[in-house]
Amino acid sequence: MNATVRRHDFADRLTLADKLAHEVAEKLREAIAARGHATLAVSGGGTPKVFFAVLARSVLDWSKVTVTLVDERWVGEDNERSNARMVRDLLLKQNAEQATFVPLYENAPTPDDALDNVNARIDKLPQPFDVVLLGMGPDGHTASFFPGGDHLAQALALDGTRSVLSMRAEGAGEPRITLSLPRILASHALYLHIEGDDKKQVLDDAIARDYPIASVLKQTRTPLDVYWSP
């Protein structure tokens, strides 16, 4: 049996960004109304940039929202590849400036040196998250679940107990730190945001080719909403 997967296709990326921001903002408002607080875990990379800019303008009580990352490249915020830098530059602006940000990176030589600290930081956040947003690479990775990753099996183990793991892989560039699959699936709402025909094809092929994203498609814990535009 596979996850419940709902596909939402849009004519262009701006329409997608608008609809997804509207949906996510509503989930955050509902969480605040129900629990007094909301948690949002976002992905890095290039795809979410427009969506972040739209979401940042959403009207809600951002002072009650905690934002963290699904994964991070092990670089400081002075590096253009830092996902934290992108989140600060694009999402934590305008109304969303009031949100609290919990980064995965800290100033340590390797993700392994910081792993206990980062795990403790993430474990302090409410579980489940209210909203988790995933992206996907052309190689079928999501979060930092890269094909051939050194901790891929541990990260994908549904009975794993660590929230955060380090990851090194040929396709990853620098060492990474990533939430585990069970920590990602512990979410009231789970989205995959992808753009382009190439990524649509990768997603369609994912289970047959056993790409890492297939682990999200095959689990039965958490329904997945896929937002796609050309």
Kindly provide the b/e burial profile for residues 85-105, where b requires at least 16 CB atoms within 10 angstroms of the residue's own CB: bbbbebbbeebbeebeebbbb
Q: Which of these ranges, 37-45, 55-63, 87-95, 105-113, lies near ligand 6PG under the rule CB under 6 A?
A: 37-45
Residue 143 engages ligand 6PG in binding (rule: CB under 6 A): yes
Residue 149 engages ligand 6PG in binding (rule: CB under 6 A): no
Residue from 83, 119, 180, 229 that binds ligand 6PG (CB under 6 A)? 83
Q: Which of these ranges, 45-53, 88-96, 150-158, 207-215, lies near ligand 6PG under the rule CB under 6 A?
A: 45-53
Cβ contacts of 125 within 8 Å, gap of 6 or more: 39, 66, 68, 102
Do 85 and 79 touch, CB atoms closer than 8 A? yes
Please state, in angstroms and rounded to a whole number, the distance separating the CA atoms of residues 105 and 83. 9
Residue 215 engages ligand 6PG in binding (rule: CB under 6 A): no
47 vs 60, which CB is nearer to ligand 6PG?
47
- Identity of the amino acid at 168: R
Backbone angles phi, psi at 103, to 5 degrees: -75, 160
Backbone angles phi, psi at 44, to 5 degrees: -100, -145
Q: What is the 3-state secondary structure (H, E, C) of 84-132?
A: HHHHHHHHCCHHHHHCEEECCCCCCCCHHHHHHHHHHHHHCCCCCEEEE
Q: What's the token pair of residue 104?
A: 């995965």
118 vs 143, which CB is nearer to ligand 6PG?
143
Residue 46 engages ligand 6PG in binding (rule: CB under 6 A): yes
Q: Which of these ranges, 59-67, 140-148, 205-213, 216-224, lies near ligand 6PG under the rule CB under 6 A?
A: 140-148
Q: Which of these ranges, 40-48, 59-67, 115-123, 153-161, lies near ligand 6PG under the rule CB under 6 A?
A: 40-48
The residue sitting closest to ligand 6PG, measured at its beta carbon, is 135
Residue 182 engages ligand 6PG in binding (rule: CB under 6 A): no
Give the interface with ligand 6PG as residue ranges (CB under 6 A): 43-47, 70-71, 73, 83, 135-137, 141-143
